[in-house]
Amino acid sequence: MKNNLLVLTLIVGCWAASPVVAQSKKATPDPVARYDAYIQQAVRDWKVPGLTVTVVKDGKVLLKKGYGVRVSGKPEPVDSQTLFAMASTTKAMTAACLGMMVDEGKLNWDDPVTDYLPDFQLYDPAVTRELRVRDLLIHNTGVGNADVFWAAMKIPSDEILRRMRYVKPSYSLRAGFIYQNIMYLAAGKVLEKVSGMSWDKFIRTRIFEPLNMRRTKALFGEVTDANRAKPHVEVNDTVRLVDSKLEEGLVDVVGPAGSVWTCPDDVTAWMQCMLDSGRYQGKTLLKPATWAELFKPQTFVTDAEFYPTQLLTKPVWKTYGLGWFQQDYRGHRINFHTGSLTGMIAIHGQLPDQKLAVYVQGNLDHAELRHALMFRAFDEFALGLDHDWSTDFQKLYGGFKQKAKLGERKADSTRVLNTNPSLPLAAYVGSYVSPVYGKVDVTLRQGKLYVSINEIMTGFIDHWHYDTFRLVYDQFWYGKDPVSFVLNTQGKSATVKAFGLEFTKADLTTHHPDH
C-alpha cells in the first residue's frame, strides 16, 4: 500500500480526466450574487432552520453570511458571528497542533504512541507496540467505531482510553479504514504530553490567538453566548428542536475529535491559513513541509467508509490525509471534511490549486446540502461550470430515506404476533452491567418496563415478541431500538442486549463496570 500511495501522491494533484460531466459556462457577471441566491433556495429546499456559508479565494473573503434563524420558530437571525459546532472539522486543527510539535522537534509523525502514552493499550499487543502517532490521525488502526464510550457513557477521557484495550479489532492494523473518533482523543493526549499543556489550552494559544479567532471556543462547555445556533432534527418530515445540552456537552470529553465551536467572522482566518502554507497575515503556524504533510494522502478510503456523494461525483480515487478526506473532482484534487453532532453539521472544503475554500455550518441533523454547497462553490468560483448539486443530492439522500423506511417496515413484518414474554415483567427488573460499556437499569414504571442506559439514554420498552422489546427513547432524536433479554439455565433473566452490546445482570456476575 505504501508504494501505491507514493505513486498516488505524485498524481493526485494533476489527474487528467474526470467522469463528472461539466455543464455549460455561465454568462451572469456576478458569481457571488448567483451563489448567494443558490444558497437561499437550497436552505428552503432542505428545510434547514439556520446556516452559515463562508468562501475565501486568493486570500480574499468572497462571501461570509448567515441564513435563516438560530432556533426554528424564533426570530433571532443567523449572522456572521453566530456560533455553530465545528464537530469533526476540528480534527484538522488537532492534526495541525501536532504538526507544530513536529516543527519544534518534540515529536515525529512515526514515533511509537507508547513513547508518549506508555499505558495506552489496544486489544492486540502487537498493534499496541506498532502503533505510530500518524496512525492516530488516519483511521487505520484496525479498531472499529467505539463512540459509545463518549456518546452513551459518562466517563473521563483517561478512562475512555483505558477501555480501548477491551475493544476487539475489526481488521488488521493499516489493512483498512474505519472512521475513529477516539484515536483523536489519544492524539490530543500525545499533544498534552509533549507540549506540557492541555489540548484545549494549546489550541487556544497556538491557533485561536494567532489567527485572532476571538469568538471561537475549544469546548462546548465554554459556549455561553446567546448568539449560537441550536440543534434540530427532522422527525416524520417535521423539523424539531433538540434539547441536547447533555449530549453536546459529552463531546468535550473527546474534544480533539470535534468539540470546537466557531463562526464565519473567525473561521475565515483558519481557512486562509490552511490554503496558504500555514501562514496568515505575516504569521506562520507551520513550516511548509509540515503543512504539506497534512494534505499528503496517507491511506486509501474504502467505498463503504466514504460519502454517498461518490455515487454522483464518481471520484477515481479516495484518500485520507491528516484530518482531511480527499478525492478527485473535475480533474482537480479536493481536500474536505464534514462534521456531525446531533442536530448540527459542518463541512470544510478546499480546491487547493485554485486557492479556494468553502466552509458551511448548519443546525439541522445531517443536512447534506453541505456537500451541494461545497461542490457548487468549486464550480462557481473556480471552474466556471453550472451544476445543480442541491437537487441531485436531495434525490440521492431522499432515496436513502425511502430505503430506510422500507427497511423499517420489513423489520416490522418479522414480528411474531400473539407471543408473550417468558417471565412476568417484574422478573426482568434489575441492573445489568458490562465491564466495558457501563450499566443498563431496568425498572417498572406505570406497569411497564423502563430502561436507563448509563443515565444518558432512557425510555419505556414495549413488548415486541418473545423476550424482545422495543425501546422508544425519551430523547426522541434517537428513535427506536430493539432490546432483548436472554434467560440462563435457571430460567432467570441473565443478559440484556441493546444496540449490539451485552450487559449481564449484576447479581449474576462479579464484574463491575468500573473495574
Question: Which helix H or strand E contains 351, and what residues bound it?
Answer: strand 344-351
Q: Is the dihedral of CA 295, 55, 393, 365 positive or negative?
A: positive
**Cβ atoms of 179 and 238 closer than 8 Å:** no
- Residue with the larger pLDDT of the pair 507 and 80: 80
On whether residue 154 sits in a domain, the answer given is no
And the C-alpha cell for 143? 479498531
Tell me what pLDDT residue 408 has: 87
Rg value, the chain, Cα: 24
And the C-alpha cell for 234? 427532522
**Cβ atoms of 234 and 225 closer than 8 Å:** no
Q: Is the dihedral of CA 232, 230, 54, 338 positive or negative?
A: negative
Specify whether 286 is located in the same domain as 369. yes
Q: Is the dihedral of CA 25, 29, 30, 33 positive or negative?
A: negative
CATH number of the domain to which 377 belongs? 3.40.710.10
Judge whether residue 419 has pLDDT over 70: yes
φ, ψ (nearest 5 deg) of residue 443? -130, 170
On whether residue 162 sits in a domain, the answer given is no
pLDDT tens per residue, range 437-456: 999 999 999 999 999 999 99
CB atoms within 10 A of CB 465: 15
Average confidence (pLDDT) over 101-123: 98
On whether residue 168 sits in a domain, the answer given is no
**369: Cα separation from own chain's centroid:** 16
pLDDT > 70: what percent of the chain? 92
Residues spanned by the domain of 47: 2-107+182-403
Least confident of 16-30, 204-218, 269-283, 352-366: 16-30
Distance of alpha carbon 31 from alpha carbon 503, whole angstroms: 57
Which residues contact residue 430 at a Cβ distance below 8 angstroms, ignoring those fewer than 6 apart?
441, 442, 493, 505, 506, 507
Cα 36–Cα 336–Cα 299 angle in degrees, nearest 5: 165
Specify whether 64 is located in the same domain as 209. yes
Judge whether residue 244 has pLDDT over 90: no
Least confident of 245-249, 342-346, 452-456, 490-494: 245-249
Among 403, 437, 471, identify where a domain stops: 403
Average confidence (pLDDT) over 192-204: 98
Average confidence (pLDDT) over 309-317: 98
Average confidence (pLDDT) over 413-433: 96
Tell me what pLDDT residue 379 has: 98
On whether residue 248 sits in a domain, the answer given is yes
Which one, of 361, 397, 346, 354, lies nearest residue 379 by Cα? 354
Average confidence (pLDDT) over 71-75: 96
Query: Across all residues in the chain, what is the average pLDDT?
Result: 92
Judge whether residue 11 has pLDDT over 50: no
DSSP characters for 323-340?
S-EEEEETTEEEEEEEEE
pLDDT tens per residue, range 317-351: 999 999 999 999 999 999 999 999 999 999 999 99
Judge whether residue 422 has pLDDT over 60: yes
CA distances from 223 to 50, 259, 261, 262, 398 (A): 18, 11, 8, 10, 33
pLDDT confidence band for 483 (50 / 70 / 90): very high
**Cβ atoms of 375 and 390 closer than 8 Å:** no
Tell me what pLDDT residue 9 has: 36
pLDDT confidence band for 499 (50 / 70 / 90): confident
And the C-alpha cell for 250? 459529552
CATH number of the domain to which 463 belongs? 2.40.128.600
Judge whether residue 214 has pLDDT over 60: yes
On whether residue 151 sits in a domain, the answer given is no
**Cβ atoms of 205 and 211 closer than 8 Å:** no
Specify whether 220 is located in the same domain as 358. yes
Kindly tell me the burial class for residue 277, based on how many C-beta atoms sit within 10 Å of its own C-beta (0-12, 13-18, 19 or more): middle
Q: How many structural domains does the chain have?
A: 2
Tell me what pLDDT residue 10 has: 34
Tell me what pLDDT residue 23 has: 55
**H helices of 230-359, where?**
245-250, 255-258, 264-275, 288-295, 310-313
Match 439556520 to its residue by C-alpha cell.
Answer: 50
φ, ψ (nearest 5 deg) of residue 107? -160, 145
Least confident of 279-288, 402-411, 416-425: 402-411
Tell me what pLDDT residue 247 has: 58
Specify whether 499 is located in the same domain as 368. no
Specify whether 391 is located in the same domain as 451. no
Tell me what pLDDT residue 514 has: 44
pLDDT confidence band for 236 (50 / 70 / 90): confident
Tell me what pLDDT residue 28 has: 57
Tell me what pLDDT residue 249 has: 74
On whether residue 191 sits in a domain, the answer given is yes
pLDDT confidence band for 27 (50 / 70 / 90): low
Specify whether 392 is located in the same domain as 433. no
Distance of alpha carbon 360 from alpha carbon 371, whole angstroms: 9
Tell me what pLDDT residue 246 has: 55
Specify whether 434 is located in the same domain as 379. no
Among 372, 403, 434, identify where a domain stops: 403
Among 349, 373, 403, identify where a domain stops: 403
Partners of residue 451 on adjacent β-strands: 442, 459
CA distances from 168 to 142, 165, 175, 215, 436 (A): 9, 8, 15, 41, 12
Is pTM beyond 0.75 here? yes
Which one, of 247, 182, 189, 187, lies nearest residue 221 by Cα? 247
Specify whether 351 is located in the same domain as 492. no
Specify whether 431 is located in the same domain as 399. no
Specify whether 298 is located in the same domain as 438. no
On whether residue 167 sits in a domain, the answer given is no
Specify whether 314 is located in the same domain as 190. yes
Tell me what pLDDT residue 4 has: 44
Specify whether 397 is located in the same domain as 481. no
On whether residue 173 sits in a domain, the answer given is no
